[in-house]
């Protein structure tokens, strides 16, 4: 598989590094407006290849994306002093207009994997600008939030997080919804397993884990300026599922016509991912509180997207 990545900053380069180390792409091409940055990242990652798998990584221009099966878009601009969130979104939409046009001119059959924040709105924008079917424009969504949820549950239960099936729904952001009702460990509902290992999920445990998931990015940014390793690994995992036609289930963002009675809106729910992109949706069991919170998240995202002028 050939993988293209537009945006060679920390997220894009971490995705490239993780993809090389996992061996999910035979060829990786990094494209960035600052070509010297793409060249430096590609050279640094290339020096890791002897310790990993037989891959190649290079810096290139948009034309070098020809033949890419997946293109990760991790490009965007930062917020200016005094600039509103909507103004920032408008500027990033214009960046996407250029980037997506160039990407599709070179690789018209590629699946677009959106990593730029706010990822749900940018997934909405990318779908509209590209004209591609929604299943081929995939936002990384809450895949990282779900990984954080499982990691903290695994720590509490003293079990590998890979054995935990738990999802964060909605926005990748403050309105996200931890779906406790549908969480399972192996074949057991979460509460049953927790009782079995004498690690009950009390209200205080829920609050601690909720805060741990919801505030993770803020803590990491405060400590080191940005988050990139976790999402880089998540993006590589998504690419691997596409490459191998796994039909695996991830919490991903996609422009959908009906989420809790609203649409169109780009938002995360569990989705089946294969070689052609998203192949199906799996709405998890939710209690009334979780369903109400998911609807509120969808309403906020839809209102934001509707306010943008493309």
Distance between CA atoms of residues 17 and 28, nearest Å = 9
3-state secondary structure at position 53: coil
Both ends of the chain: CA-CA distance in Å? 33
Token readout for 51 is: 């310790």
Cis peptide before 168 (omega within 30 of 0): no
CA distance 16 to 4: 9
172 is catalytic: yes
The secondary element (H helix, E strand) that includes residue 58 is: strand 56-59
User: Cα Rg for the chain, rounded, in angstroms?
Assistant: 19
Alpha carbon 73 to its chain's center = 11
Q: What are phi and psi of 264, to 5 degrees?
A: -75, 145
Q: Which candidate in 47, 156, 165, 172 is catalytic?
A: 172
Q: Checking DSSP bridges between strand 188-189 and strand 184-185, what pairing results, if any?
A: antiparallel
Helix segments in 116-247, DSSP class H: 119-130, 143-157, 190-196, 203-214, 216-224, 229-243
The β-bridge partners of 265 are: 256
* C-alpha separations of 165 from 55, 181, 209, 212, 297 in Å: 32, 11, 15, 18, 22
CA neighbor of 14 nearest in space, from 118, 140, 145, 169: 140
Alpha carbons within 13 angstroms on the beta-carbon side of residue 198 total 0
Catalytic annotation, residues: 172
């Amino acid at each position: 598989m050939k993988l293209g990545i537009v945006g060679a900053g920390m997220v894009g380069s971490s995705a490239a590094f993780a993809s090389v180390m996992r061996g999910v792409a035979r060829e990786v091409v990094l494209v960035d407006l600052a070509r010297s940055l793409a060249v430096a990242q590609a050279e640094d990652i290339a020096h890791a290849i002897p310790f990993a798998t037989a891959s190649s990584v290079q810096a290139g221009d948009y034309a070098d994306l020809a033949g890419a099966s997946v293109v990760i878009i991790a490009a965007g601009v930062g917020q200016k002093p005094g600039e509103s969130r909507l103004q920032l979104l408008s500027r990033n939409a214009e960046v996407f207009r250029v980037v997506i046009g160039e990407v599709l001119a070179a690789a018209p059959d590629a699946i677009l994997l959106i990593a730029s924040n706010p990822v749900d709105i940018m997934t909405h924008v990318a779908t509209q600008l590209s004209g591609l079917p929604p299943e081929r424009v995939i936002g990384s969504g809450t895949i990282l939030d779900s990984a954080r949820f499982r990691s903290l549950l695994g720590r509490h239960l003293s079990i590998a997080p890979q054995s935990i099936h738990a999802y964060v729904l909605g926005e990748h952001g403050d309105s996200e919804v931890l779906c406790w009702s549908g969480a399972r460990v192996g074949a057991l509902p979460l509460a049953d397993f927790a009782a079995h290992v004498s690690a009950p999920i009390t209200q205080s445990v829920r609050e601690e884990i909720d805060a741990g998931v919801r505030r993770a990015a803020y803590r990491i940014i405060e400590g080191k300026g940005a988050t990139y390793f976790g999402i880089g690994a998540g993006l590589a995992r998504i690419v691997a599922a596409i490459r191998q036609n796994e039909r695996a289930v991830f919490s991903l963002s996609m422009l959908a016509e009906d989420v809790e009675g609203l649409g169109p809106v780009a938002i995360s729910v569990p989705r089946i991912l294969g070689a052609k992109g998203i192949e199906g949706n799996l709405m998890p069991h939710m209690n009334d509180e979780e369903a109400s919170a998911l609807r509120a998240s969808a309403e906020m995202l839809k209102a934001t997207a509707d306010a943008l002028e493309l």
